[in-house]
Amino acid sequence: MAFRYPGGKKYNGSRSHQTSSPSNLFGNRGMTLEQDLNDTNQYYRSTGKAVIHKKPTPVQIVHVDYPKRSAAKITEAYFKQPSTTDYNGIYRGSYIDFEAKETRNKTSFPFGNIHAHQMEHMHDILRHDGIAFLIIRFTLLEQTYLYDASLFLDWYFGQKERKSIPLQDIRENGHYIPLQYSPRINYLDIVDLIYFS
């Protein structure tokens, strides 16, 4: 099936779901950040702690093949509009909105991983007193951090000569999230610490 962005550019799939060797699978136990977050959010919903979901990307179906009367196969579709951020929901009466990103970079988080419309969306959430942040996984280091959106936006708009945020700043001003069994990425403990203490 061929998916296309607005304007017709072909979508080739996310690199975050690709692994190059069995050792990579062992390193992160075959889990991507998205899978870990989906499992974590399911845990939060099932225990009544929060209601947070991955946002679906709006898709317009263009062509469908009907090889059999009972089976339909989508052969061409387009993304209707650029997506905002990956996850949103409600926790402790507050609106939460965040983007999840993985990078193979060992020293910094490149700005190219976030699109301009996503930054505008996070800025809008902050203007309306919502909670916005990024969850960033450095896959080769096997480290995951929660990084407040206001810090990210300060770096992006205030440091025009830079093309990334140094890992050292993320370590100092972000919050490390250790992986655990259940929930896998317990980011709401950090949300409590930052936004509700």
Looking at per-residue pLDDT, the higher value among 176 and 30 belongs to 176
Q: Report whether 149 contacts 134 (CB < 8 A).
A: yes
pLDDT of residue 8: 55
Q: Six-digit token pair at 36?
A: 């870990």
Specify the pLDDT at position 14.
46
> What's the CA gap between 43 and 180, in Å, rounded?
13
Q: How many domains does the chain have?
A: 1
pLDDT of residue 27: 38
Q: Can you give the residue range of the structural domain that contains 96?
A: 31-56+83-195
85 is in an annotated binding site: no
25 within some domain: no
Amino acid letter at 192?
Answer: D
Tell me whether residue 142 is annotated as binding: no
22-26, 40-44, 45-49 — which is least confidently predicted?
A: 22-26
**Roughly what angle, to the nearest 10 degrees, separates helices 116-127 and 149-158?**
130
Say if residue 86 carries a ligand binding annotation.
yes
Q: What is the pLDDT of residue 24?
A: 36
Asked whether residue 123 is assigned to any structural domain, the reply reads yes
The pTM score is 0.74
Determine the Cα–Cα distance for residues 116 and 125; give it in Å rounded to an integer. Answer: 14
Q: Which of 48-62, 119-133, 165-179 has the lowest mean pLDDT?
A: 48-62
Whether 19 maps to a domain, the answer reads: no
The CATH number of residue 45's host domain is 3.40.1350.10
Residue 61 lies in a domain: no
Mean pLDDT of 166-182: 95
Quick check: is 176 in a domain?
yes
Look up residue 9 and give its DSSP letter.
P
Lay out the sheet containing 59-68: strands in order across.
Answer: 2-4, 71-79, 59-68
Q: Is the bond into 183 cis (omega within 30 degrees of 0)?
A: yes
Consult the annotation and say whether 99 binds a ligand: yes
For 187, other C-beta atoms within 10 Å of its C-beta total 25
Q: Confirm whether 154 is domain-assigned.
A: yes
Q: Give a yes or no: residue 18 inside a domain.
A: no
Q: How many residues does the chain have?
A: 197
Single-letter amino acid code for the residue at 103: T
pLDDT at 1: 54
Q: Is residue 131 part of a domain?
A: yes
Average pLDDT over residues 36-40: 95
